Amino acid sequence: MQPQLNITEPTRAAATATDLKMETRGLSVYYKNFRAIKEINLPVYENRVLAIIGPSGCGKSTLLRALNRMNDLVPGARVEGEVLLDGENIYAPGQDVVDIRRRVGMVFQRPNPFPMSVYDNVAFGPRLLGIRKKSVLDEIVERSLRAAALWEHVQDKLGQSGMALSGGQQQRLCIARAIAMEPEVILMDEPTSALDPMATLTIEDLIQRLKENFTIVIVTHNMQQAARISDFTAFLSMDEDRAGYLVEFGPTVEVFTNPKEKLTEDYITGRFG
Amino acid sequence: MASSSTSLRRKLMRHLQHGDVLWWALLLLSAVVVVVLVLWIAWQLWVQSAPSRHAFGWDFIWPWVKSVWNPALDKFQAWPAIYGSLITATIALVLAVPLALGIAIFLSELAPAWLRAPLNYMVEMLAAIPSVVYGLWGIYVFLPLVVVPIGKALEPLGSVPGIGIFFKGPVPASGFTRLGAALVLVIMILPTIAAVSRDVLQAVPRSQREAAMALGATQWETVWKVLIPYGQSGILGAVILGFGRAIGETMAVTMVIGNSAGGGYSILKPGYTMASIIANEFAEAVSEMHTSALMEIGLVLFAITLLLNAFARWLVVNRTIKRA
């Protein structure tokens, strides 16, 4: 059975390459001796949504987390190759990892608000940057919450714990928290996998609007979601050593309707995965 | 056939249920034993302290009552011992908490993997040393080499108005002082606070660390702005457990505090704690009133530690449930 693909016209129109925001060149990531992904060359275009899809364990998350050096936190993780952000290798010696993470924000699989108020959650990042002035913080908090389509719901309860919100609202709070840093790229690691369908839809709408100001890379298990929201799709699979590699990259419409690789076709038609 | 297998199953079930009842009763009994013990101790302390409670009333514990501790006259007043316990435990806590937090953060966040296990082991070793050994080491090593010099350095504060009463010298050459007891207590409560705080920090979900790191927080910022706030109730619980241990510690304190009912408020003078006065005098208490007064001190100590532990437990449990 052919999957129901619901690619909207604006998505089609947007699926044109713009400036390169990020790029991986021959990127391999090892955990101790295990190679999780190998020699991945992947462009990330500015103000576009890039979806990374592929079967479980093919290294989608590893690839995503290599884009803002979150793998640095994993003991024994090692990177070969380059990840360029505006043409500069973020793994080059002397690069400030803290600065990179400020430019490349991240939203996680499970909503992970801090156990503090909605306001303090959003203001967390700006405060790290040394912003102390109440009026400035107020402005950032409101703007970020508006951008995350959460302002209407929480404007009267900014002092309430962020953990008291519903799952979908928590995830939008986490998006607001990431936006407050004014990153250039936002990485999303299966941001809706812990949410119900309605909350998922809200987040998907949000992603569509966010790409006006941000470059977005999203890992998703859900092919429909990739088809709905992304401009470009990268399909990863794994070889016999269980190392993830890039099978196909292209405009989402192409990858889903006219895949070049047999493997891609098998995957998106549900024959494996 | 079918009916026999059903009845067999039923028999088996009934058998198991009997076993369950027995098991349940055994467990209930063990739980009841604990409760009975606590109540029994409290009751005994209450009853045995009756003469003292009747003779001295609340004056027994107030700080503003002129203090007498005279077994010959059967006149007793416990404030110096209560003060000794509070001041030594408080000083110990103030010094131990930052150090213990530092150890906990290092063990949980910074230490390389190969260093972690031996360090954890050392911290637990520190907690396992018997307190009499701390006492001996205190008398022969710690007091002369550390406490006396520190005490001497603090002596000039004795002439500062306001805080002077806490630093009235001179420090006895032996080093037997409240300060000595407090500093030995620092070492004794350090592992408790450090180990519990370490566990609390390690229990903070990885997602919280990642959230902070992904916002560009440095490791320092992650620890102070996310991990410690997240674990604050647990850490507070650890601190209170440490305080409880400090206030209840008997052997080592008795060995280094000098055991004197005088000393005013100075930490540079020998004193008593509630635990040490009981340990020191109980064997020689001949009059009923003397025994009873010591019992009442025991009652006060019991009440304070019980409240502290209940408070600590409440904090930890309360916050854990909220998180879940």
Alpha carbon separation from B48 to B235, B287, B300, B319 (Å, rounded):
37, 13, 13, 38
Domain ranges of chain B: 2-48, 58-323
pTM of the entire predicted model: 0.80
Q: How much is the ipTM here? A: 0.85
Q: What is the pLDDT of residues A24-39, one digit of tens each?
A: 999 999 999 899 999 9
Q: Which domains does chain A have, with CATH numbers?
A: 9-113+181-268 (3.40.50.300)
Q: What is the pLDDT of residues B159-205, one digit of tens each?
A: 888 888 899 878 899 999 999 999 999 999 999 999 999 999 999 99
- Tell me the average pLDDT of chain A: 89
Put simply, the answer to whether A114 touches B323 (Cβ < 8 Å) is no
Taking each helix axis from N to C terminus, what angle separates B79-105 and B288-323, rounded to the nearest 10 degrees? 30
**Assigned token pair, A164:** 């008291």
CB contacts of B116 in chain A (<8 Å) are none
B222: nearest CA partner in chain A = A128
In CATH terms, the superfamily for domain B58-323 is: MetI-like (1.10.3720.10)
CB contacts of B225 in chain A (<8 Å) are 124, 128
Phi, psi of A116 (to 5 degrees): -145, 180
Tell me which residues of chain A have a C-beta less than 8 Å from any C-beta of chain B. 68, 70, 73, 75, 98-99, 101-102, 105-106, 108, 110, 112-116, 124-125, 128, 174, 177-178, 181
Nearest to A102 among B210, B216, B230 (CB): B216
pLDDT of residue A1 exceeding 80: no
H or E segment and range at residue B242? helix B232-248
Tell me which residues of chain B have a C-beta less than 8 Å from any C-beta of chain A. 113, 205, 207-218, 221, 225-226, 229-230, 323
Put simply, the answer to whether A181 touches B213 (Cβ < 8 Å) is no
CB contacts of B221 in chain A (<8 Å) are 128
Least confidently predicted of B44-48, B158-162, B297-301: B158-162
**Assigned token pair, B25:** 């009763």
A114: nearest CA partner in chain B = B208
What's residue B23's pLDDT?
86
Put simply, the answer to whether A128 touches B215 (Cβ < 8 Å) is yes
Residue type, B321: I
Q: What is the pLDDT of residues B124-165, one digit of tens each?
A: 898 899 999 999 999 999 999 999 999 999 999 988 888 888
A181: nearest CA partner in chain B = B215
**Residue contacts between A and B (CB atoms, under 8 Å):** 60
Task: Give the CA dihedral B86, B87, B90, B95, nearest 10 degrees.
Answer: -160
- Tell me the average pLDDT of chain B: 89
Q: What is the pLDDT of residues A173-231, one digit of tens each?
A: 999 999 999 999 999 999 998 888 988 999 999 999 999 999 999 999 888 899 999 99
d(CA A272, CA A88): 37
